[in-house]
Amino acid sequence: MQVLAPVTGTSLDVADVPDPVFASGMVGPGLAIEPRPGPQSAVAPIAGRLAKLHPHAFLVVSDTGPGVLVHLGIDTVQMHGDGFTLLADELDVVRAGQEIVTWDPGYVTGTGRSAVCAVVVLDCPAPSEPLQRPGSTVTAADPIFDIRC
């Protein structure tokens, strides 16, 4: 299954996420994106159901397998939704590339937090196959890796 970039920016190895839980791979395999500054929309990385939706993070679970978690920035839960606007509702069925949240990574960094986005596959013991090398420029909805579960 192909996973799309939820945001526009520069791809990073998941080990480069400035959070030890994501960086260690404990949450799951995937990658990270350093988002470009300025307002943008975060899109669904796969088609499926929005199993969880918070302003700073969302989980899309496919009908055929794993879920993909998108976490917009690090420690952004502490922002209590400030700077994020939801464009969908929890439990909605979404298509890959559909806009889910608008946000401004520059606003996040202005609060002293990292805007790096983790994109990880849950309940998938096998590693993912990257389609983008670290340092690549990606646009929201570009394919970034394939899930091999």
Average pLDDT (39-49) is 97
Nearest-angstrom CA–CA distance, 52 and 32: 19
pLDDT at 111: 96
Q: Is 71 marked active-site?
A: yes
CB 149 within 8 A of CB 126: yes
Q: What percent of the chain has pLDDT over 90?
A: 71
Average pLDDT (53-81) is 95
pLDDT at 128: 65
Average pLDDT (133-140) is 90
Instruction: Provide the whole-model pTM.
Output: 0.93
Q: Which fold has domain 2-146?
A: Glucose Permease (Domain IIA) (2.70.70)
Quick one: DSSP state of residue 46?
S
Q: What share of the chain is helix, strand, coil (3-state, %, to 5)?
A: 10, 40, 50
